[in-house]
Structure 1
Amino acid sequence: MSDSPDVLSLREGRFARFEAVSWWRQERLRSARVLVIGAGALGNEVLKNLALLGVGQVAVADQDHVELSNLSRSVLYRETDEGKPKAECAARAMESIHAGTQITPLVGNVLADLGLGWFRWADVVVGALDNREARVFVNSACARTGRPWVDGGIEVLQGIVRGFFPPQTACYECTMSQVDWDLIQKRRSCTMLARRALAERGTPTTPTTASVIGGMQAQEVIKLLHGMEALTGRGFFFDGAYHQSYAMNYPVHPDCPWHEPAAEIMTMEAWGGSTPLREIAAEAERRLGGLDALDLSRELVEAMECAPCGTQTAVWRAAEHVSEEQLVCPACGGACAPRLVHSLPGGSPLLERTVSGLGLPVWDILYARHGEQVLGFELAADSPFATNSLSPSSPVNP
């Protein structure tokens, strides 16, 4: 018999304090997929919390690079990160917090570069955004793919958290006033140079408010993943100055387009950016008995037009990727305006192009329409994940 007495180990597991909660299912978090859009001050707090919670798969999308002014408000960045993509720096920092979380950084603009396949992949989407146009796009993407999303916004000592799960609940567009729509329309009517200047203006924030709102957003993710009652169709306003915080309910707006059941989406593993649109149209016509149009996931700039001299220059890319040179007429030097397209008729000669040749991002979804029938095609060949992990997980309940 050994002379050494048996030693009882009192060492707790990494998530022991979570698992002590009666309803907690750590395995559900370990298998979860969360898409976070925005890696600024608010996104940093959300991402930090997701890593601490042990969420299994996280994708983070942001187009910006770390600046010195970010360091006072963003917990995941360091001085050595200055000039590097935020999404990549945030991913590295998350891995240092919890190596068990698989993080995918997506460096790009949500309006131009984020295919709808990413939304369908996720169980929950978190928005850490600072402009209405991006929120409108995220809202439409979540409605089309049947995913709940948690929106957050901060300014100085105030913040708001809102949850949306259309068509079951009110969505972001239901909360928008006529003033909101007028501001979006005013922004869209500006020249593209003016729009870019507006986009570069930052919102004044503090790390304390970001911590509060980001923590609440992560908490809503926990509740959604556990099937608990969550902040869907509702919001919570945080007043850090006077602590006169309050909750609110959002009714479904009768004119909002996102409250019909989402169209069926088929995962097409052989189709991707190199697939001719004609092939997709032919399959859509076969399945629907005809084809009125292929609807795109976002507006694209077909061409830039100069009103004074009539010069037109083909573009075929998202507005966010139109170069500075393309904004100026090569013939007369005047300002050009974009000609936008969001749908291709069934007989359009543009169907001879490929998906990427049209300017759409990888892993996107196209919608075929015939009469009242709509069918979505997820172009999954360019997904970064293996075929056996490609199919979306079961939707969570609101």
Structure 2
Amino acid sequence: MSEALHIDLDGDDDHRFARFELISWWDQQRLSGTKALVIGAGALGNELLKNLALLGVGHVLVADLDRIELSNLSRSVLFREEDCGQGKAAVAARRTRELFPDMQVHAFEGNIVYDLGLGVYQWADVILGGLDNREARVAINQAAAKVGKPWIDGAIERLQGVARVFDPATGPCYECTMSDVDWKMLAARKSCALLSRDEMQEGKVPTTPTTSSVVAGIQVQEAVKLLHGMETIAGQGFVFEGLTHQSYLVRYTQLEDCPSHEKIEPVVSLPTGVADTRVGELLERARTDIGPSAVLEFNHDLIDSLNCSECGETTPLRASLGKVTESQGRCPKCGELCTPNLYHSINEHSTLLDCTLAELGVPPWDIISAHAGMEQIGYELAGDRATVLAPLVNEAEASAKDMS
């Protein structure tokens, strides 16, 4: 846990959180020291942040890629008309701080599927998702599993919604709940060459602020229980049926062949970041730590180059697969769609050993795993921590100095 905010609870029966303290098991200092990762700053994200602020949660990173539109104002309590065109995460962070000025809250603006490293997930005590697409949920699910953290998902549509707690270490995960139709719809976001479609936009989800309030309220309620060591609805979903109010719990089943239940351990924290860590150096460290057959494995498919089957042109391009759009994947010579040369791991014979991890497309503060037979180890690129968390790190250090 982070350094807890200094909250004087002694000798005052009317302090900010006095009513919470009437709950026999409540631990306000625990909440003040909690680190929360909120992914999505739309309708659900607004409600999640509002609730976390009112509860006195001390440290929050909110991540989102989108900009505020006029239609967001009917479902998002933190946004105003003058905010249109600004980043959702930045505005939501600022307004959340107005609700609870002592909260240390920071915005991360980027695509959480490819831009958010595993280090953030390991940092967080609780992970809350307020998203509207499957690809992002799969990314959160896999990241949470790799660092051994449960996460709390929310989904809304019309007057219905669901709040779910997934703990891959003890039961079913999000991917265990996905049907063949879900996977086909996820694949539709990609072109035949696996590149992201330029025109692919998630459908606009019809919903109401009341629905998002209910679902986000359940999510944060489960987070409070989780942080207090109480039993949650892990492996289950609370289905809110707003039309008839026939709400109920549904229990999920873990799939035997689901790949998203493996934790990376142990994890060694390195003082360097992705921009100053060369692939060969990290591989050599892994060979020393777990054996000469060590192989580095990445959390996303990476592209080395693009091949055009029409004219035979090969175009060098190093990036995470998901960040390359269909238009970027066309041959510069003939305009035909190219096939990406992909890799997911690197061994001692790779031609990329002199590259830095950043040059390959690895996001800041990621955790790279290495395998040698049955041996495994993870390397956290902690040199990027201060950059990703920004004021959360500086404010926490200042707070600690003030209290000493």
Paired letter, 1:127:
G
Q: Distance in 2 between matches of 1:100 and 1:176?
A: 40
What does residue 243 of structure 1 align with?
Answer: 245
- TM-score, length-scaled by structure 1: 0.90
Identity %: 48
Shift in Å at residue 318 of structure 1? 2.4
Shift in Å at residue 165 of structure 1? 1.1
Q: Deviations over 1:235-276 (max 9, x none)?
A: 111111111211011122111123345421111123442111
SS of the residue corresponding to residue 99 of structure 1 reads coil
Q: Distance in 2 between matches of 1:89 and 1:209?
A: 22
Which residue of 358, 363, 366 maps to 1:364? 366
**Pairing 1:9-158 to 2, within 5 Å after superposition:** 12-158=14-160
Shift in Å at residue 387 of structure 1? 10
Q: Deviations over 1:89-125 (max 9, x none)?
A: 0000011000111011000001111011000000111
SS of the residue corresponding to residue 316 of structure 2 reads strand
Q: Deviations over 1:183-226 (max 9, x none)?
A: 32343345678734233432222111111111111111101100
Q: Distance in 1 between matches of 2:35 and 2:364?
A: 19
Q: Deviations over 1:154-178 (max 9, x none)?
A: 1111101111111212111111122
What does residue 7 of structure 2 align with?
Answer: none
Paired letter, 2:278:
P
Contact 2:32 2:56 in 1 (8 A): yes
Q: Distance in 2 between matches of 1:263 and 1:367?
A: 9
Paired letter, 1:214:
A
What does residue 377 of structure 2 align with?
Answer: 375
Contact 1:109 1:320 in 2 (8 A): no
Deviates more, 1:183-192 or 1:331-340: 183-192
Contact 2:74 2:209 in 1 (8 A): yes
SS of the residue corresponding to residue 237 of structure 2 reads strand
User: Are residues 260 and 116 of structure 1, via their aligned partners in 2, closer, same or farther at CA, if it must alter by over 3 Å?
Assistant: closer
SS of the residue corresponding to residue 190 of structure 2 reads helix
What does residue 228 of structure 1 align with?
Answer: 230
Shift in Å at residue 329 of structure 1? 1.7
SS of the residue corresponding to residue 130 of structure 1 reads coil
User: Are residues 191 and 203 of structure 1, via their aligned partners in 2, closer, same or farther at CA, if it must alter by over 3 Å?
Assistant: farther
Contact 2:191 2:326 in 1 (8 A): no
Deviates more, 1:333-342 or 1:242-251: 333-342
**Pairing 1:290-305 to 2, within 5 Å after superposition:** 290-305=292-307
SS of the residue corresponding to residue 59 of structure 1 reads strand
Contact 1:192 1:327 in 2 (8 A): no
Q: Distance in 2 between matches of 1:311 and 1:387?
A: 49
Please tell me the root mean square deviation across aligned C-alpha atoms, in Å: 2.2
User: Are residues 375 and 169 of structure 1, via their aligned partners in 2, closer, same or farther at CA, if it must alter by over 3 Å?
Assistant: same
Q: Distance in 2 between matches of 1:363 and 1:54?
A: 27
User: Are residues 34 and 194 of structure 1, via their aligned partners in 2, closer, same or farther at CA, if it must alter by over 3 Å?
Assistant: closer
User: Are residues 251 and 365 of structure 1, via their aligned partners in 2, closer, same or farther at CA, if it must alter by over 3 Å?
Assistant: same
Q: Distance in 2 between matches of 1:267 and 1:316?
A: 26
Contact 2:195 2:322 in 1 (8 A): no
Paired letter, 2:117:
G
SS of the residue corresponding to residue 60 of structure 1 reads strand
What does residue 8 of structure 2 align with?
Answer: none
SS of the residue corresponding to residue 113 of structure 1 reads coil
What does residue 200 of structure 2 align with?
Answer: 198
SS of the residue corresponding to residue 296 of structure 2 reads strand
Q: Distance in 2 between matches of 1:193 and 1:265?
A: 31
Contact 2:197 2:325 in 1 (8 A): no
Which residue of 282, 285, 290 maps to 1:283? 285
Tell me how many residue pairs correspond in the alignment.
Answer: 382
SS of the residue corresponding to residue 105 of structure 1 reads strand
Q: Deviations over 1:28-66 (max 9, x none)?
A: 100000101111111111011111111010001101111
What does residue 163 of structure 1 align with?
Answer: 165
Contact 2:368 2:378 in 1 (8 A): yes
User: Any unmatched runs of 5+ in structure 1?
Assistant: 1-8, 391-398
User: Any unmatched runs of 5+ in structure 2?
Assistant: 1-10, 398-404
Contact 1:269 1:387 in 2 (8 A): no
Q: Distance in 1 between matches of 2:382 and 2:357?
A: 12
Contact 1:140 1:258 in 2 (8 A): yes
Deviates more, 1:172-181 or 1:141-150: 172-181
User: Are residues 344 and 65 of structure 1, via their aligned partners in 2, closer, same or farther at CA, if it must alter by over 3 Å?
Assistant: same
Q: Distance in 2 between matches of 1:72 and 1:319?
A: 35
Contact 1:301 1:340 in 2 (8 A): yes
